[in-house]
């Protein structure tokens, strides 16, 4: 009898334990997610900005046609899923991308979503609509799109000038929401209307951003949260302390530096923290139109002098990646393999040998121990720019280059760069999508507005187009590696390192996925829930 | 007294006009404008888009025209629109004023209520251990930057109580509401209290050596009557001056304190507006601060006249 009781008790306990586990894993409805925001975005219109300070709070307001799966860390072509589209198909020799649209979707103001909204959005992005964005930083993404056509209310086609498989990747980015036709770009800057899981409530500049659950969201049972509240705290110390004190459920994503992460873990041991690459590359822009960097030998010497591992160890305690233009593997999809990377001058592991070669090039150009080259290293007056610039100056000393730091206020940085009023500059380049089309055309294509150095190589340009049209991924990858290698050898914009940053949240916040090859695409937050 | 008042009022108006000119042109001397910053944030510059935006915001017009638009609007009560939020400037500024006013008021109250009594005690107990201790405290108040003190308070609060006394827009209890302002007010008021204490002490020491104090003591007046009725009343004038100046300087201190304690007041808002070159906000806000400072000085001048009849008769 005793054994029967014991067995029953064991069974009951097991059942209880199992149900507790199951219960803990079951998403719960309700609760407001409290997060701090690192700064006050200029406005609320994702299409008019180029910072993830906009994507984090406003991506939950919108939907795209397609989106990267929000619960997978790596953005890949094979994890793009339909959102406002129900399906898509490439037709007409891969020159037309047709989407069947979801029916019954409503904008937050109650108006129905149709194909006209999609056409409006992309016509505006291409600069073809009557209404204009005040700023349109990603116009170049749609250069291969000749027009958008609709077939009824629920079918829309992107007609391309030539095949561009990566268009789908660009459309899946957090930077590509569909806007309503009936709301002006001006209103979208102050009171965005979307179809997304959360409705915009208010945005008080320098204070807070509030979103509330969209009860009419087309995806049944989502979102789990009742709302999201962002408190704007520009002071990083205050923000981290507030997170440690439990005032916030989540720290601003990819904003906790590696040294700060240690503080967080020591003061709040239960906090869940992850370190991930941000796909932001720290690089050098070189003014090759004026002396002394019009001399290719000096440019090459500078590239040879870089000790990339030293940068990473000083700034990120070893948590960073050495790579070319594209984010290196395993997190990056298109980065060169290590063996190939190390064949590029300056990337080899023997720093001393690299610098000896650099010294020879400097001596060839007429410089040496008794005759140093004086240069100004310009950069923005922001720590993430300034700190590596100081390290760069120190490293250049080893090859007879005496650098002087020239810090420039943000307002004057781009006018200065556009005027070519610099010798070398320390710059950061963020990639919203881990795809060569976004990176190559934006940063290295002849005439691109974001090609700050005006690097222009017609041969490479042809290769850009070749890889862009290639539908075989493996073939495209090889082409991309060759292009990336050539860009580094040309010292087009020497990449120093790819940074990694930390993200932290309280243990009861569930369903968080930090993306590992872009910090712009993972903030829909409809699957996020609070286990409280 | 009337002539004195009129003269001070006239001076005040001239000062405000001068300030408006300085604010306007200084802002334009600073390199870059809102359009540069917007494009810098977007990482590209399209000359056509840039020109359109400059035209839309009216910053393509000659400076004198821009000044006239602003100052005439200011006098009519039309403060324009924020370039950044695209909301009326007044709508952006007004809700923040009470927050900063409460903080500044509390900081000044802290400064006066702590600084004056401690200054008197320190003077009366000159040369004692208490005097030395108070002087050390006042010296530390002058030496510690308020942002550092603020961060120290926050760190200590988190480490000791697991709570952080940063701004809470919706306090649930009286204690929370009080903490929202009291802790940052103490952080910013500490320096001001230290200064007030030192001025009170030195002023009191000077007065306590006067003949009439000796006479009052000889007449048998109690220590309290001598210190507070005879000495403090005459020693308070320089202290009032310092508190008046501190009221003006407090705005500078509040910028840092509002940032550290994340208080959405005008001071922090001003810094952000300067960063964005949001001219309508900066111009109107600085003008507002100038009006407050000029009025504070005017009030101090009037208080002088009230406390010291010689000023009314001679000035």
| pLDDT score for B249 | 76
- B239 vs A214, higher pLDDT: A214
Q: In B, which residues are within 8 Å of A234 by CB distance? A: 259, 272
Q: What's the rounded Cα separation, in Å, for the pair B297 and B289? A: 12
| pLDDT score for A106 | 98
* CB nearest A245 (choices: B43, B86, B164): B164
Determine whether the interchain pair A411/B92 forms a contact, defined as Cβ–Cβ distance below 8 Å.
Answer: no
* CB nearest A190 (choices: B41, B56, B86): B86
Alpha-carbon gap: B227 to the closest alpha carbon of chain A (Å): 44
Q: In B, which residues are within 8 Å of A189 by CB distance? A: 86
Q: What's the rounded Cα separation, in Å, for the pair A458 and A225? A: 51
* CB nearest B45 (choices: A43, A409, A414): A414
Determine whether the interchain pair A50/B42 forms a contact, defined as Cβ–Cβ distance below 8 Å.
Answer: yes
Pairing of the two strands A529-530 and A373-380: unpaired
What are the tens digits of pLDDT across the range A263-315?
999 999 999 999 999 999 999 999 988 899 999 999 999 999 999 999 999 99
How confident is residue A2, by pLDDT bands cut at 50, 70 and 90?
very low
| pLDDT score for A20 | 43
- B228 vs A12, higher pLDDT: B228
Residues A94-105 have a mean pLDDT of 97
| pLDDT score for A352 | 95
pTM for this entry = 0.88
What are the tens digits of pLDDT across the range A150-181?
999 999 999 999 999 999 999 999 999 999 99
* CB nearest A241 (choices: B53, B164, B259): B164
* A11-15, A144-148, A361-365, range with the lowest pLDDT: A11-15
What are the tens digits of pLDDT across the range A479-532?
999 999 999 999 999 999 999 999 999 999 999 999 999 999 999 999 999 998
Determine whether the interchain pair B41/A241 forms a contact, defined as Cβ–Cβ distance below 8 Å.
Answer: no
SS (H, E, C) A380-441: ECCHHHHHHHHHHHHHHHHHCEEEEEEEECHHHHHHHHHCCCCCEEEEEEECCCCCHHHHHH
Give how far Cα B195 sits from Cα of A220, A476, B247, Å: 63, 70, 12
Q: What are the counts of helices (DSSP H) followed by strands (DSSP E) for chain B?
A: 15, 0
- CA torsion, points B63, B65, B70, B71, in degrees to nearest 10? 100
What are the tens digits of pLDDT across the range B58-105?
999 999 999 999 999 998 989 999 998 889 999 999 999 899 988 999
Q: What is the CA radius of gyration of chain A?
A: 25
Determine whether the interchain pair B32/A241 forms a contact, defined as Cβ–Cβ distance below 8 Å.
Answer: no
What are the tens digits of pLDDT across the range B200-239?
999 999 999 999 999 988 988 888 888 888 888 888 888 9
Size of interface A-B (CB pairs under 8 A): 123
What are the tens digits of pLDDT across the range B115-143?
999 999 999 999 999 999 999 999 999 89
Alpha-carbon gap: A311 to the closest alpha carbon of chain B (Å): 24
Ranked by mean pLDDT, the top range of A7-11, A125-129, A378-382, B161-165 is: A125-129
Decide if pLDDT at A15 tops 70: no
Structure tokens at A400: 């007879």
Decide if pLDDT at A3 tops 90: no
- A243 vs A419, higher pLDDT: A243
Site from A44, A233, A411, A452 to mutate, B interface, most B CB atoms within 10 angstroms:
A411
Alpha-carbon gap: B46 to the closest alpha carbon of chain A (Å): 7
* Count of Cβ atoms closer than 10 Å to residue B157 Cβ: 18
Q: In A, which residues are within 8 Å of B157 by CB distance? A: 245
Which residue in B has a C-alpha nearest to residue A132's C-alpha?
A: B49
Where is B151: in which H helix or E strand?
helix B146-161
Let me know: does A61 contact A256? Beta carbons within 8 Å: no
Q: In A, which residues are within 8 Å of B43 by CB distance? A: 50, 137, 414, 450
Alpha-carbon gap: A4 to the closest alpha carbon of chain B (Å): 49
What are the tens digits of pLDDT across the range B265-298?
988 898 889 988 999 999 998 898 888 888 878 8
Mean pLDDT across chain A? 93
Alpha-carbon gap: A490 to the closest alpha carbon of chain B (Å): 23
């Amino acid at each position: 009898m005793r054994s029967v009781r014991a067995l029953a008790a064991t069974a009951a306990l097991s059942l209880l334990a199992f149900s507790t586990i199951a219960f803990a894993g079951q998403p719960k409805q309700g609760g407001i997610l409290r997060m701090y925001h690192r700064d006050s975005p200029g406005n609320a219109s994702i299409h008019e900005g180029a910072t993830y300070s906009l994507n984090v709070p406003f991506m939950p307001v919108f939907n795209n046609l397609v989106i990267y799966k929000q619960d997978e860390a790596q953005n890949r072509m094979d994890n793009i899923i339909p959102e406002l589209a129900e399906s898509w198909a490439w037709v007409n020799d891969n020159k037309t991308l047709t989407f069947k649209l979801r029916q019954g979707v409503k904008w937050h103001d109650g108006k129905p979503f149709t194909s006209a909204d999609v056409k409006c959005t992309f016509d505006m992005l291409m600069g073809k609509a009557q209404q204009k964005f005040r700023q349109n930083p990603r116009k170049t993404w749609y250069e291969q799109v000749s027009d958008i056509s609709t077939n009824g209310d629920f079918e829309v086609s992107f007609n391309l000038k030539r095949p561009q498989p990566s268009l789908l990747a660009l459309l899946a980015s957090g930077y590509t929401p569909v806007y309503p036709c009936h709301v002006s770009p001006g209103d979208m800057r102050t009171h965005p209307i979307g179809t997304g899981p959360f409705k915009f409530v208010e945005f008080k500049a320098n204070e807070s951003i509030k979103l509330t659950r969209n009860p009419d969201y087309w995806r049944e049972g989502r979102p789990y949260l009742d709302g999201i509240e962002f408190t704007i705290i520009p002071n990083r110390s205050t923000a981290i302390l507030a997170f440690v004190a439990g005032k916030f459920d989540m720290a601003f994503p990819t904003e906790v530096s590696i040294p700060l992460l240690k503080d967080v873990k020591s003061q709040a041991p239960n906090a869940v923290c992850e370190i991930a690459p941000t796909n932001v590359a720290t690089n050098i822009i070189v003014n090759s139109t004026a002396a002394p960097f019009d001399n290719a030998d000096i440019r090459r010497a500078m590239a040879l002098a870089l000790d990339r591992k030293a940068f990473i160890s000083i700034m990120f305690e070893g948590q960073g990646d050495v790579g070319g233009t594209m984010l290196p593997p395993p997190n990056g999809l298109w980065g060169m393999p290590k063996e190939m990377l190390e064949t590029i001058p300056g990337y080899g592991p023997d720093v001393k040998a690299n610098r000896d070669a650099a010294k020879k090039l400097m001596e060839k150009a007429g410089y040496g121990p008794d005759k140093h080259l004086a240069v100004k290293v310009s950069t923005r007056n922001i720590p993430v720019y300034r700190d590596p610039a100081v390290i760069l100056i120190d490293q250049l000393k080893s090859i007879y280059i005496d650098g002087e730091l020239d810090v420039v206020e943000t307002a004057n940085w781009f006018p200065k760069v556009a005027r070519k009023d610099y010798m070398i500059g320390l710059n950061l380049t963020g990639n919203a999508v881990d795809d060569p089309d976004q990176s190559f055309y934006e940063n290295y294509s002849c005439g691109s507005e974001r090609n700050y150095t005006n690097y222009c190589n017609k041969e490479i340009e042809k290769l850009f187009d070749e890889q862009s049209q290639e539908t075989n991924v493996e073939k495209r990858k090889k082409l991309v590696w060759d292009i990336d290698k050539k860009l580094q050898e040309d010292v087009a914009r020497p990449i120093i390192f790819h940074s990694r940053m930390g993200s932290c949240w309280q243990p009861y916040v569930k369903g968080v996925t930090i993306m590992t090859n872009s910090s712009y695409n993972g903030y829909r937050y409809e699957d996020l829930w609070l286990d409280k | 007294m009337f002539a004195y008042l009129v003269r001070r009022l006239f001076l005040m108006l001239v000062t405000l006009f001068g300030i408006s000119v300085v604010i306007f042109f200084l802002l334009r001397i600073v390199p870059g404008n809102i359009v540069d910053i917007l494009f810098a944030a977007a990482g590209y510059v399209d000359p056509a888009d840039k020109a359109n935006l400059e035209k839309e915001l009216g910053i393509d017009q000659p400076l004198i025209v821009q000044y006239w638009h602003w100052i005439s609007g200011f006098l009519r009560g039309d403060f324009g629109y924020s370039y950044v939020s695209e909301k009326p400037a007044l709508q952006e500024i007004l809700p923040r004023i009470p927050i900063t006013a409460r903080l500044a008021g509390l900081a000044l109250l802290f400064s006066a209520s702590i600084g004056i009594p401690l200054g008197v005690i320190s003077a009366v107990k000159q040369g004692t251990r208490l005097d030395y201790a108070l002087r050390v405290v006042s010296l530390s108040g002058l030496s510690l930057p308020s942002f550092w003190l603020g961060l120290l308070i926050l760190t200590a609060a988190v480490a000791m109580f697991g709570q952080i006394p940063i701004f809470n827009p919706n306090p649930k209890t009286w204690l929370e509401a009080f903490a929202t302002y009291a802790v940052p007010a103490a952080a910013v008021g500490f320096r001001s209290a230290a200064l007030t204490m030192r001025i009170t002490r030195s002023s009191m020491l000077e007065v306590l050596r006067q003949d009439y104090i000796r006479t009052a003591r000889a007449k048998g007046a109690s220590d309290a009557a001598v210190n507070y009725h005879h000495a403090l009343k005459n020693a308070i004038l320089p202290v009032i001056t310092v508190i008046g100046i501190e009221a003006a300087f407090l705005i500078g201190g509040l910028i840092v304190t509002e940032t550290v304690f994340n208080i959405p007041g005008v001071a922090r808002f001003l810094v952000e507006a300067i960063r964005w070159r949001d001219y309508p906000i900066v111009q109107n806000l600085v003008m507002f601060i100038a009006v407050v400072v000029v009025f504070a000085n005017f009030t101090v001048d009037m208080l002088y006249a009230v406390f010291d009849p010689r000023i009314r008769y001679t000035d």
